[in-house]
Amino acid sequence: MQTELSSTLGAEHAVFGFTPFPAVAAAISRAGGFGVLGAVRYGAADDLARDLDWMQEHTDGLPYGLDVVMPAKKVEGVTEADIEAMIPEAHRTYVEETLAKHGVPPLPEGAASGWRITGWMEQVARSQLDVAFDYPIKLLANALGSPPPDVVQRAHDHGILVAALAGSPRHARHHQEAGIDVIVAQGYEAGGHTGEIATMVLTPEVVRAVDPLPVLAAGGIGTGEQVAAGLALGAQGVWLGSVWLTTEEAELHSPLLTRKLLAAGPGDTVRSRALTGKPARQLRTEWTDAWDDPAGPGTLPMPLQGLLVADALTRIQKYEAEPLLGTPVGQIVGQMNSTRSVQAVFDDLTRGFERAIDRINRIAGR
C-alpha cells in the first residue's frame, strides 16, 4: 500500500491516520502508516509540547504529522471572552433545560471543563505551531482548509508539507492556488466536519481538479478493500479517522461510549451542527436531536456553539449520560464492531487490500 507520497514521507503504507490521541498516532506510525495528531483539544501550548515529546519517544524515528484548526482569514483583537459574550441567554437556558431533563448533575465546584474548542482561535493555533515547528513533523494539516499564507510559507521553510481538507473540487482548487502540497478529499461519509459530496464521487473529481498534486481519499474508509478503491480512484493514499476510536490505544475514558460505538450501525450517525456550529457527522443521540428540533432555539454559528456546549459536553461525558453521550464518527462505524490494537487494524487493512488487488487481477485476466 505504498505510493509516491508515502515514500516521500517515509511511511511504509499510504494510510494517514488522524487521531486526537498521541498513543494512537504513535502506534499508527509504528505500524507502517503515517500518524497525524489532532491539536484542536490543546488549549495550552505546554500540553501539546508534552505530548509531542512523548511522540518523539514512541515513534522510533518514524514520520508523523500534526493537524490544526486554523481559519485562513485572521480576525484581530477578538478574545474568547468577547465571543462568549455574544452567546444569547436563551441558548444557555436551553442547554441547562436539556441537561436537567436527563438528570445530568453540574460539575463539582471548582472543576474546569475538560472539553473546549479553543484551537480554532488564531492566537491558540499560532502558539501550537510555535511549539510544533521545534519538532521533526513531516506534515501539517489544516482541518479548516488553507491556513494563512505566512503559515504555509513557514511550514515550507521547515521542509514540512502542508495538507488541507476539501469537500468540493472548488475548495481543492483554492487550496492548490494557496500553495498547499496535499489535498484531503473528505467525503460526506466522514466523521467530524464534512461537506455534502460522497467520497466515491468527490475523490476522482478532486484528483482531476488539482492534478498533479497528491490527493488523499477520506470519508467512510476503514477496510483494505476501501483503501484499494481510493487508490483506484487516483488518490495517493487514504485519510482515516473514525476507525481508530475503538482501538485499544484510544483514550476515550468512557466504556459506555466505546460500547455505543461498537453497537452502532452505519445509519446511526447524523450530520449536525450541535457540536461546533458547522455540520459535523457524529453519533445520533438525544443531544443532537435536541439541537435539530425545530421547537428549540437552533444552533449558533461557529465558534459560538462550541463555546456554548463545552461545559455541557464535559458533564455528559463525566457522568456518562447515556442518551446524550456521543462523539464525532463517520458512517464506517458500522464496521467498527470489535476492539482491536492499531497493529491489528493495519493487519486487517493489508489483508483486505491484497484481496481487492487479487480480485481485480483475476477480473483483468492476470
pLDDT for 73 equals 60
Q: Is the pLDDT of residue 122 over 80?
A: no
Cell of 172: 481543492
Q: How far is Cα 172 from Cα 177, in angstroms, rounded to an integer?
A: 9
Q: Identify the pLDDT of residue 59.
A: 97
Q: By percentage, how much of the chain surpasses pLDDT 90?
A: 81
Q: Is the dihedral of CA 266, 241, 46, 306 positive or negative?
A: negative
DSSP string over 73-141 = S--TT--HHHHHTTS-HHHHHHHHHHHHHTTPPPPPTTPPPS----TTSHHHHHHHHHHHTTTT-SEEE
pLDDT, position 141: 96
Non-local (6+) Cβ contacts of 126 within 8 A are 70, 151
Least confidently predicted of 5-19, 60-74, 217-231, 324-338: 60-74
pLDDT at 44: 78
**Res. 97: pLDDT tops 60:** yes
Determine the average pLDDT of the residues in 298-324.
Answer: 92
User: Quick one: cell of 194?
Assistant: 464534512
The reported pTM is: 0.93
The whole-angstrom separation of Cα 117 and Cα 108 is 21
- Average pLDDT score over residue span 114-141: 81
Q: What is the mean pLDDT of residues 299-323?
A: 91
pLDDT, residue 113, reads 63
Q: What is the mean pLDDT of residues 105-123?
A: 69
Q: What is the pLDDT of residue 20?
A: 94
pLDDT at 302: 82
Long-range contacts of 196-203 (CB under 8 A, 24+ apart): 196/167, 197/167, 197/168, 199/230, 200/229, 200/233, 202/167, 202/168, 202/169, 203/230, 203/233, 203/234, 203/235
Higher pLDDT pick, 352 / 44: 352
pLDDT confidence of residue 143: 84
For residue 176, give the H/E element and its range.
helix 169-177
Dist CA 192 CA 197 (whole Å): 14
Mean pLDDT (the chain, rounded): 92
| In the predicted structure, residue 118 carries a pLDDT above the cut 70 | no
pLDDT confidence of residue 119 = 47
Q: In sequence order, what are the residues at sequence separation of 6 or more whose Cβ sits closer than 8 angstroms to the Cβ of residue 366?
A: none
CB atoms within 10 A of CB 51: 19
Q: What pLDDT score was predicted for residue 78?
A: 64
User: CA-based angle 227:229:230, to the nearest 5?
Assistant: 65
Write the pLDDT tens digit of every residue in 200-228: 999 999 999 999 999 999 999 999 999 99
- How buried is residue 21: exposed, middle or buried, by Cβ count under 10 Å (0-12/13-18/19+)? buried
For residue range 29-77, list pLDDT tens digits in order.
999 999 999 998 887 789 999 999 999 999 999 999 999 987 666 555 5
